[in-house]
Amino acid sequence: MGRTLPSMTMVFFQEQDSFARFRRALRRSDQRSLDELFAAARLHVAAAAYAAHPLPFETFLLAMLLEEHKEVQRLRCALEAAGLLGSAPQPDPGEAGCVWPLEAPILPEPEPPAVKESPASPDLPAALQPPVALASL
């Protein structure tokens, strides 16, 4: 038996296709902007599937809004870093200031474990000696 419900990816493309006439009526620059919004929503199709909202397009709109908000945050942080955003509201003491970009702290590379040299067995020829890594086991 086949699926009874279309996948969220299929629903997404159906919703995008339903706006084809609207897209054609837009100016070329607005068409590109609409395409970018749908591309941003496509990044969150897995989350939309997990949400299983009865109106999936609302979830896609929220995904578009989320990506736009992240862009605003990124630009705000860039302006703060450049000192061009002087009238920005101060964050609460419990909040972190500018959190963009979200990067993990750079940790030093772990050193590889030391390989112990095993004494060669005098009764075995060199070709039959176990490799160094196996000899330490």
Compute the radius of gyration of the chain from its Cα atoms: 28
Whole-number pLDDT of residue 82: 84
DSSP 2-13: --SS--HHHHHH
The half-sphere exposure of 23 on its side-chain side, counting CA atoms within 13 A, is 14
Residue 109: what pLDDT?
64
> What local confidence, expressed as pLDDT, does residue 72 receive?
93
Q: Quote the DSSP letter at residue 107.
A: P
| Token duo for residue 76 | 């705000």
pTM for the complete prediction?
0.62
CB 40 within 8 A of CB 65: no
- Token pair listed for 21: 């006439």
Structure tokens at 33: 């902007």
Confidence of residue 92 (pLDDT cuts 50, 70, 90): low
Domain boundaries, the chain: 1-85
In the predicted model, is pLDDT for residue 48 greater than 50?
yes
Report the candidate in 58, 54, 44 with the shortest Cα–Cα distance to residue 9. 44
Would you say residue 24 has pLDDT above 80? yes
More confident residue, 57 or 126: 57
The pLDDT-based confidence of 83 (bands split at 50, 70, 90) is: confident
What pLDDT is stored for residue 58 in this prediction? 96
φ/ψ of 70, rounded to 5, equals -60, -40
Contact partners, residue 45, CB within 8 Å, separation at least 6: 8, 9, 12
Whether the CB-CB separation of 14 and 60 falls below 8 Å is answered with no
Residue 43: the pLDDT is 95
